[in-house]
Amino acid sequence: MRLKNKTALITGGSSGIGRETAILFAREGARVVVVDVDDARGNETVDHIREQGGEACYVHADVSKAEACANMIAVAEKTYGALHILFNNAGIMHNDDGDAVSTEEAIWDLTMGINVKGVFFGCKYGIPALRHAGGGSIINTASFVAHLGAATPQLAYTASKGAVLALSRELAIIHARENIRVNALCPGPLRTELLMKFLDTEAKKQRRLVHIPMGRFGEAKEMAQAALYLASDESSYVTGTEFLVDGGITAAYVTPE
């Protein structure tokens, strides 16, 4: 078991990448703190883990709020004694997110609040907990669009993921000597509820698929496997990376310097 005796906190754990990662981490021996605002589905994730013989608990938290993030970390430490893995995964992709002209300020602020402040607050309150545990792994969900931009305009989302990427790099440098690793997981286009709601027509879907060398959307389970590597001791010399799991889309459109 690759995460035996470890405690992992996963935001956005009710669906998509977060849910699949919570289930996989528990299967690999971790005690999992599932965090979300969707209480029903968050508790479903916990119930599923427990039915499979794993350990898990649920915490309601709006990650754009400092006090909520402080509480989720406190619950993790109080419930399981320590925190070793922090997966700042919660994020939104709003249907009204478009180009600079069409995107309203409220959509920009909402996206930045969850996608960027949520990572900042997770690290602000999570890093002291990792220090208490003697080190650990932080995984922040960015995106391939932080490298390429998006074929279908989603400016706030793209900018937010660029911020997550930059934030992850700097934190990796700052905390490298503390045995705290920080990496950004950069998924390609996935067949998740989040993206499928945004790509709500066949034309939009095909506009993405045509750019992916593998010719298909990725699956949340594939991202969970990537997160498992970054969370485990197998990646003990890996920090500050942009872990692209994108079906080849970045390689196809980025020319090496």
Is 157 a known active-site residue? yes
Please enumerate in sequence order all residues whose Cβ is within 8 A of that of 66, keeping only pairs 6 or more positions apart, or say none: 121, 124, 125
- Which of the following is catalytic: 58, 157, 229, 253? 157
For 97, other C-beta atoms within 10 Å of its C-beta total: 25
Residues composing the chain? 257
Please enumerate in sequence order all residues whose Cβ is within 8 A of that of 201, keeping only pairs 6 or more positions apart, or say none: none
Query: Phi, psi (5° rounding) for residue 83?
Result: -130, 130
H/E element holding 20? Answer: helix 16-27
Please enumerate in sequence order all residues whose Cβ is within 8 A of that of 33, keeping only pairs 6 or more positions apart, or say none: 7, 8, 9, 10, 56, 57, 58, 59, 72, 75, 76, 79, 80, 83
**Three-point CA angle 24, 29, 30, nearest 5°:** 80
What residues act catalytically? 157
